[in-house]
Amino acid sequence: MAVQTTASSAAASTVTAVTASSASPSVDLGPAAALSCRECGHRVPLGPVFACEECFGPLEVAYDFSGYDAEELRRRIEAGPANIWRYAPLLPVPADVAGKPNLNPGWTQLVKADNLARELGVTGGLYVKDDSGNPTHSFKDRVVAQALEAARAFGFTTLSCSSTGNLAGAVGAAAARAGLRSCVFIPHDLEQGKVVMAAVYGGDLVGIEGTYDDVNRFCSELIGDPAGEGWGFVNVNLRPYYAEGSKTLAYEICEQLGWRLPDQIVVPIASGSQLTKIDKGLRELIALGLVEDRPYKIFGAQAEGCSPVSAAFKAGHDVVRPQKPDTIAKSLAIGNPADGPYVLDIARRTGGAVEDVTDAQIVDAIRLLARTEGIFAETAGGVTVGVTRKLIENGVLDPTLTTVVLNTGDGLKTLDAVAGTGPTAVIRPTLDSFREAGLA
Amino acid sequence: MAVQTTASSAAASTVTAVTASSASPSVDLGPAAALSCRECGHRVPLGPVFACEECFGPLEVAYDFSGYDAEELRRRIEAGPANIWRYAPLLPVPADVAGKPNLNPGWTQLVKADNLARELGVTGGLYVKDDSGNPTHSFKDRVVAQALEAARAFGFTTLSCSSTGNLAGAVGAAAARAGLRSCVFIPHDLEQGKVVMAAVYGGDLVGIEGTYDDVNRFCSELIGDPAGEGWGFVNVNLRPYYAEGSKTLAYEICEQLGWRLPDQIVVPIASGSQLTKIDKGLRELIALGLVEDRPYKIFGAQAEGCSPVSAAFKAGHDVVRPQKPDTIAKSLAIGNPADGPYVLDIARRTGGAVEDVTDAQIVDAIRLLARTEGIFAETAGGVTVGVTRKLIENGVLDPTLTTVVLNTGDGLKTLDAVAGTGPTAVIRPTLDSFREAGLA
């Protein structure tokens, strides 16, 4: 069954004709029952498609969770492995996923951040969900792991993506473990460090003479061409499955809080997909009876230099006006976020907000988190911590409530942001020199 | 009780007079009962001392494990947290350690490396214990976590060390989380990237005008001086406790294998401490009845450019002749390894061996591991994988037996080693250009 769709690429927001590979009706992706359009509700069978054939709206995974008993499900999860596959009954993956070769990401630490709480004046309990503990040190391992299972289910033999950073490493590593070919597309003029991280896993790495937008446009073309046959682009034709990986952040946070919803959660916004899926995950836990049904607020965090969703939120708009990114938070620098309108809905529905911070505030927040909790975050972590501080100062975030802040990446990947950091003192190797420096 | 010792510093192998801070007889470090000399067996109370007052031999922690029932202990461990504190009953830490602010390292993945096994011809099961998953991405978090508890028990308020890399970050981060001051000493001319990683946690970072040996000598002086009062140097006056952290690698490997000893294990050698403590941990598990008592072989891995233990092993010597290190494996570059003779004993007693590989072989092995398993190791991981390959080729390591290879650090910290890695191709953003490159 070849489904012909004209699709709005969630990654590139370009419109292009897409021929989907055929999806067998016997595809086993566990509880995933179909893809359904987030706009019009139209359902199609599971397959490598990402846009509604009726209205071009984004497709997402719909599940059949009927027959789940809350107590039995909780016991099953708790007896599962210390990674995302403990939640396999809630993800678009086959039941035996934990036995297949993959990076087994997740079950990262939820750090009780008492020192940071003191500095920020949070009295209701402050936690940092630290996703730098994933195998390639960003939350991308969660989403790529879902895309990998979808790729296997659809018979794809090459795992691909366009990327300027974290995603390239996550795809390269996951494909290596799984024994698939990988082919990652990057702008040809990326910094050498990022090129090394993308290339070290031995897959094909293709530099494209052009901007990141050119890279995305090229990938969309390739999906529609015979040359792209058998290729799974994790964030394009596998995007509905890929995106579901972010639900595991919600599951883990609640389980690590003792099967309890946080009152407030601060999430970074790039495309906005992560925030919408965290909301989806929380609502699923409520519907399944795994957590008590009570209100929670979701806050979105952006860098001022790429703050289209924050700007729309503050202006009271429903539509997000694209921006040209100019910020050190490169992993959040998507000027035209596909899920922006959904993020606005969620922030407003839950009583949250969307806020942004300057590059200087991002750097300050990276240092604050490192100094108080020993967590070295990438710039995206500086954004969430900085926005949390700003929201408290502005009286928007309630410091008497339980609050979870996401760190989605690792400071080792964005060393430049804190490059000015140096020694407190330089001394001669003598006790006199040490005393003179006033360090005793 | 001030204990006056003349001590052979395990870190620096320099001899210096040390005044230990007083240790209360009521110090609670769980099952740790005393310190005992590895040479003459002389016992002293728990305290911040590291060398025997009788013979200058190295002190190590002696335990009271009496009263442990194997089945009860196993259940207690399995019900514990997903970090090293599940083994608190076997470590020099108070019983309530998991509730104290620390980085909670450990319980890193034991990766079934089937792709690598195929390349190396291993048929008996090959595993990589991947310690890049620790909070600061090296095994050092395990050892620093023990030193931190000892520092708290002895009332130290500053956590310190000399370091050129992984240890600086681990100490800075752990002190930040624990709310202790940190002061880390480094050679003043370290690469900027390493300085950033050491400085970002906000503790004092002191550049010493001199070599790493000068830094070590200065630290030994400082311990004996009033200026160093209240300072815990994790790898000097807290070394007996610190070193015990490496036992957790042995515990985790066996538990993750289903409470089974590996037949063969390949461990990197810097000071040699890690290898000796892994052996200690395995012997403890046998003595406690947690694993079956059967033979295992321990293999040591060095870089050719710093191979004093390998050279001694091959020459049949009991004594290790110091070398001047010259290798890209900086985290293993200890030319005069304090535990070298113990490593030789263990390799010979268990039927293992010590081998070394060239820098080129280290780089090849980093790429091999990344390409086959999606694990990006630091140079020390290249050393163990490279040595494993060499030992198989030489018929020393038996490929039909279960084998565990350690990766103790993260490739992001030694990017220079694979700096030549680049794109497979650079193309224009067109399908024609893509086809011309032969990538379809």
Q: Report the side by side order of strands in the sheet with A181-187.
A: A231-233, A158-162, A181-187, A204-208, B425-427
- Which residue type is seen at A266? V
pLDDT tens-digit map of A370-380: 999 999 999 99
Of the candidate ranges A23-32, A206-215, B379-388, the one whose mean pLDDT is the lowest: A23-32
pLDDT tens-digit map of B410-429: 999 999 899 888 888 999 99
In 3-state terms, what secondary structure has residue B39? coil
Please indicate if any CB of chain B lies within 8 Å of the CB of A385. Answer: no
Fold match, A4-66+139-242 / A110-137+245-418: yes
pLDDT tens-digit map of A10-60: 333 322 333 344 445 579 999 999 999 999 999 999 999 999 999 999 999
List the single residue in B201, B205, B428 with the smallest CB-CB distance to A209: B428
**β-strands A59-63, A181-187 pairing:** unpaired
Closest-CA residue of A relative to B193 is A415
Using alpha carbons, select from A116, A159, A18 the residue that is nearest to residue A407.
A116
Residues of A in contact with B130 (CB under 8 A): 135
Assigned architecture for domain A110-137+245-418: 3-Layer(aba) Sandwich (3.40)
Residues of A in contact with B418 (CB under 8 A): 196, 200
B46/B440: higher pLDDT: B46
pLDDT tens-digit map of B353-380: 999 999 999 999 999 999 999 999 999 9
| Contact yes or no for B335/B351 (Cβ under 8 A) | no
At residue A192, the pLDDT reads 79
At residue A16, the pLDDT reads 31
At residue B249, the pLDDT reads 98
Say if the Cβ atoms of B412 and A411 lie within 8 Å. no
Percentages (nearest 5) of helix, strand, coil residues in chain B: 40, 20, 40
Domain ranges of chain A: 4-66+139-242, 110-137+245-418
Closest-CA residue of B relative to A100 is B112
At residue A4, the pLDDT reads 34
pLDDT tens-digit map of B191-248: 777 888 889 999 999 999 988 888 988 998 999 899 999 999 999 999 999 999 999 9
Average pLDDT of the segment spanning B271-298:
98
Q: Please give the C-alpha separations between residue B280 and each of B32, B55, B141, B250, B386, in angstroms, as whole numbers.
A: 14, 22, 19, 8, 25
Please indicate if any CB of chain B lies within 8 Å of the CB of A214. Answer: yes
- Closest-CA distance of chain B to residue A52, Å: 26
Using alpha carbons, select from B109, B136, B182 the residue that is nearest to residue A411.
B136
Say if the Cβ atoms of A206 and B439 lie within 8 Å. yes
Please indicate if any CB of chain A lies within 8 Å of the CB of B75. Answer: no
At residue A25, the pLDDT reads 55
Residues of B in contact with A173 (CB under 8 A): 370, 374-376
pLDDT tens-digit map of A60-70: 999 999 999 99
Residues of B in contact with A217 (CB under 8 A): 429
Using alpha carbons, select from B141, B301, B263 the residue that is nearest to residue A109.
B141
Residues of B in contact with A218 (CB under 8 A): 429-430, 434
Calpha distance A412→A415 (Å, rounded): 5
pLDDT band at B26 (very low <50, low <70, confident <90, very high): confident
Calpha distance A343→B285 (Å, rounded): 52
Residues of B in contact with A372 (CB under 8 A): 176
pLDDT band at A189 (very low <50, low <70, confident <90, very high): confident
Domain A4-66+139-242, CATH among 2.60.40.10, 3.40.50.1100, 3.30.9.90, 3.30.210.10? 3.40.50.1100
Calpha distance A89→A260 (Å, rounded): 19
**CATH classification code of B110-136+244-418:** 3.40.50.1100
- Closest-CA distance of chain B to residue A201, Å: 4
At residue B15, the pLDDT reads 28
* Beta-carbon contacts below 8 Å between A and B: 229
Cβ count within 10 A of residue B67: 7
Calpha distance A323→A336 (Å, rounded): 7
Closest-CA residue of B relative to A410 is B136
Please indicate if any CB of chain A lies within 8 Å of the CB of B286. Answer: no
- Closest-CA distance of chain B to residue A104, Å: 9
Calpha distance A380→A365 (Å, rounded): 10
Residue to mutate among B183, B363, B421, B432, with most A CBs inside 10 A, is B421
- Which residue type is seen at B291? V
- Closest-CA distance of chain A to residue B332, Å: 21
| Contact yes or no for B114/B126 (Cβ under 8 A) | yes
pLDDT tens-digit map of A76-128: 999 999 999 999 999 999 999 999 999 999 999 999 999 999 999 999 999 99
Portion of chain B with pLDDT greater than 90, in percent: 85
Buried-exposed string B280-317: b where 16+ CB fall within 10 A, e elsewhere = bbbebbbebebbeeeebbbbbbbbbbbbbbbbbbeeee
Please indicate if any CB of chain B lies within 8 Å of the CB of A191. Answer: no
Residues found in chain B: 440
Say if the Cβ atoms of A196 and B415 lie within 8 Å. yes
Q: Where are the beta strands (DSSP E) in A42-157?
A: 43-44, 59-63, 110-112, 126-130
Residues found in chain A: 440
Residue to mutate among B116, B252, B434, with most A CBs inside 10 A, is B434
Please indicate if any CB of chain B lies within 8 Å of the CB of A225. Answer: yes
User: What would the DSSP string read from start to end of A273-296?
Assistant: HHHHHHHHHHHHHHHTTSS-----
Residues of B in contact with A202 (CB under 8 A): 367, 370-371
Say if the Cβ atoms of B374 and A175 lie within 8 Å. yes
Angle of helix B273-287 versus helix B247-256 axis, rounded to 10: 50
Residues 6 or more apart in contact with residue B428 via CB below 8 angstroms: A208, A209, A210
